[in-house]
Chains A and B, each alone.
Chain A
C-alpha cells in the first residue's frame, strides 16, 4: 500500500488547518451558509436532510487495518456508531456535527486519510478494481497509476472549477469489476504487441439523468504519457463543456453533442501541445510509487486446497471467494448486505473486526467495492475457514455476492435532500422477499441496483434489474428497468413501463425473476436470458 512521505503528509495536514479556519469563520457568523457552501463542498461535507454528512476518500478503495480502525473510531465518536460504504469506494458518515469536522479530519490525517475532493466540481476520488494486485486476470496492478492520478489531481489548479464533477477509474483486466465505462474517464491498462503497457482511454460515460457508456477515445496511450493525455482530455472539457445548465454539464453531454470523433481530434490537438510541457513525471516516480504495491510476502508453501467439509462454509466459498493469482491464496469478499440490513452499512464493531481480520489473514489490507462490500485480497486458502467463522459470528458471512440480495442502494430519502423516494426500506423489503438462500442461488448472478432519484447514485441504469424511485404526485413511485450492466458487457437498462408503489415493485420483481426461471436455458444468467428473449415476455408477465 502507498505510504505518505512528508510532502503528502504536509499537504493533508495543511488542508485540515485551512478547513478548520473556514469552519471557524462559519461558526462565528463571518461566513453565511451560502458563502460556506462552496468551501465545505470542496472537502466532502454535505448538508443533508437531518445533519451534515462527511464523505471520506478511500483512494482506489484500498486501505489498511489502522485506517479501518480510524473509520470505526470516527463512527463511534462522532457519528451514531456506524458508517456507510459508498458506490465510489468511499465511506460516508451521515450524522456529523459541523463543529466536529476539523477534529475528525485531523484524526483522519494521522492515518493518511482525508476528504479532499470527495465533492465539488473537481476530479473526485480515483476508483479502481477491488481485486487489483490479486486478480488472476490483470495485466498489471492498476493502483500505482491510480495513485499517480490521485496526486496529479489533488488541488489541480486548472481543473478545480470544472463544469461538473469528474470521475476517473483505472482497471487492468478484461473483466470489468469497477464499472469503468460508466466513468467520465475510464482507463484500461493493456499491453500492445511489443509487450509495452499502455492505456485504452474511454471518455464520456456516466449515469445520472442521461446515462451514457463511454466511447473509446484512444486505444493505446503509451504509459509514460498517460497524465499528459488525461490533462488534454480535461482541458478540452474545461474549455468547452456546457456551463449553462447543470444537468447538461458532464463531459458525456459534450461528447454526445460534438461526437466522439470531434472530441478525439480536439484532444489529439491539445495533447500534441501539452505533451511538450513536461507534465509527465519521470519513470523513477512511477517506480517509487509502484514499490509500495509490491506483492506481499506470500507463503509459497501455502496449500492450494480448501477443506469443504463444513457445508455452510462451502456455500460461502462458492459465492464469495474468487481465484487469486498466487497459488494457495484466494480473494474473499465480505458482504455488507445481510438480509434486512442497510446495503453498505457497517457498525463500528464490524469495522474494527474487519480490520483485525485483515491484519490476521490478509497482509493488513482491505478494499472497498463499488457494490458496497469489503474485500480481503490476500487470504491463504487454509485460513478461509477460520476467517469465515469469525465473520459469521459478527453477521458478516452472508454468502450472497452478486446474488439478488447483494443490492446496491443509494441513501435515498432517509438521508438525502435530493431524493424523491426511499431506497433503503425497499432494498430491505426485496431482500426479505428473496430471503431463501437456496432461491437466490437458483436465480444465480443477478445485480439489483436502486436509486432514490434520477441522479442515479444507486447505479440503477447498470443493474440487471434496476429500480428508480420517483415522485408521482407526492407519492413515492418506483420504475423498473431491465438489462443494464456495469461490467465489461456494459449496457443501459430499459424501463418496463408504468411504475409501482413499494409493494407493487417487489411483486413486479418477483414476476420478472419467475419469467426468467421459466424461459432460461441451462446455466444462463438472468442478463443473458433478457438479452436473448428481449423485454416482451417480462412486460407480459408484469403488466399482462
Chain B
C-alpha cells in the first residue's frame, strides 16, 4: 500500500487496522477498518482507544463513507481518519470536509491536482466536520 496523503502532524500509525468484528472482539487493538456497509456508530464507545480508523470507499459512487466520517468526528474522534479505496481527485475536498485527514487512493493522484482540488473553493455553504465556517456565518460575522 502506498504511503497515505496525510493532513496531520503526528507520526503515522504503524499498527495494521483490524476488521470491525475483530476490533469489537478484542480490547487492545488501536486501529480498525470500517467497510462501507458497517455502522460507524459501533465504534463510538471505543473512540478513546483508537488511533486510526480506516474507512473503505470501494467505488467512488459509494458515498456511505462520507457519513461515517462525519459521524465519527461529531462523536469527538480526534485520531487519524483515513479514506481508502477508489479515492479520486474530484472527491478529496469533500472527504476533507467530512473529517478525513488521510487518504490512501487505489491509484496514485497527481500532487499538483490534489493541491488544486483542496484549495479551489474559498468558502463553503454548510457546516461540516472540518471546522470551516459556513458562508452564512461569514455573512453575519
Binding site for B on A (CB under 8 A): 5, 7-8, 10-11, 14, 18, 38-39, 42, 121, 151-152, 154-163, 235, 238-239, 243, 273, 277-279, 281-282, 284-285, 288
Contact = CB atoms under 8 A, between A and B. Distances in A.
B114 interface: no
Nearest to A246: B61
A157 B66 contact: yes
B123 A158 contact: no
Contacts of A155: 94, 121, 124-125
B83 interface: no
Contacts of A121: 61, 63
A14 B98 CA distance: 21
Contacts of A18: 120
Interface in B83-133: 90-91, 93-95, 97-98, 120-128
Contacts of B76: none
A14 B120 contact: yes
Given A38-B60, A157-B66, A238-B64, A277 B74 contact: yes
Nearest 7 CB-CB pairings of A with B: A161-B63, A157-B97, A281-B136, A157-B94, A285-B136, A158-B66, A7-B135
B126 A279 contact: yes
Contacts of B66: 157-161, 238
A11 B123 contact: yes
24 contacts: A11-B125, A38-B61, A38-B90, A39-B90, A151-B125, A151-B136, A155-B121, A155-B124, A155-B125, A156-B125, A156-B126, A157-B97, A157-B98, A157-B128, A158-B128, A159-B66, A161-B66, A235-B67, A238-B63, A243-B64, A278-B127, A279-B127, A281-B134, A288-B140
A151 B135 contact: yes
A161 B94 CA distance: 10
Nearest to B36: A243
Nearest to A274: B74
Contacts of B126: 152, 156-157, 279
B70 to A, nearest CB: 6
Interface residues of B, number: 32
Contacts of B122: 10, 14
B67 A239 contact: yes
B70 A158 contact: yes
A18 B93 CA distance: 13
A485 to B, nearest CB: 34
Contact of A158 (B90, B93, B98): B98
Given A157-B66, A161-B66, A238-B64, A7 B90 contact: no
A10 B125 CA distance: 12
A162 B63 contact: yes
Given A7-B123, A42-B90, 6 more contacts: A7-B135, A11-B125, A158-B66, A161-B62, A238-B63, A243-B64
Nearest to B116: A21
Nearest to B93: A157
B138 interface: yes
Nearest to B64: A239
A432 B48 CA distance: 72
A151 B139 CA distance: 13
A8 B139 CA distance: 11
Nearest to A21: B116
B85 to A, nearest CB: 12
Given A39-B90, A157-B128, A10 B123 contact: yes
Contacts of A161: 60-63, 66, 91, 94
Contacts of A14: 120-122
Contacts of B91: 161
A163 B135 CA distance: 27
A5 to B, nearest CB: 7
Contacts of A10: 122-123
Contacts of B121: 11, 14, 155
A163 B64 CA distance: 9
A277 B129 CA distance: 10
A110 to B, nearest CB: 19
**From B64, B97, B98, B126, residue with most partner A Cβ within 10 Å:** B126
Contacts of B137: 281
A285 B133 CA distance: 14
A288 B139 CA distance: 10
Interface string B57-87: 0001111101100100010000000000000
B59 to A, nearest CB: 9
A14 B120 CA distance: 7
Nearest to B134: A281
**From B93, B138, B139, residue with most partner A Cβ within 10 Å:** B139
B57 to A, nearest CB: 9
Contacts of A39: 90
**From A18, A278, A281, residue with most partner B Cβ within 10 Å:** A281
B30 to A, nearest CB: 25
A104 B139 CA distance: 29
A285 B64 CA distance: 30
Contacts of B70: 157-158
Contacts of B139: 5, 7, 285, 288
A154 B139 CA distance: 17
A81 B129 CA distance: 46
Contacts of B95: 157
**From B67, B97, B137, residue with most partner A Cβ within 10 Å:** B67
Nearest to A122: B63
B60 to A, nearest CB: 7
Contacts of B125: 11, 151-152, 154-156
A160 B94 contact: yes
A458 to B, nearest CB: 27
Nearest to A164: B61
A277 to B, nearest CB: 6
A38 B67 CA distance: 20
B127 to A, nearest CB: 5
A158 B97 CA distance: 8
B124 to A, nearest CB: 7
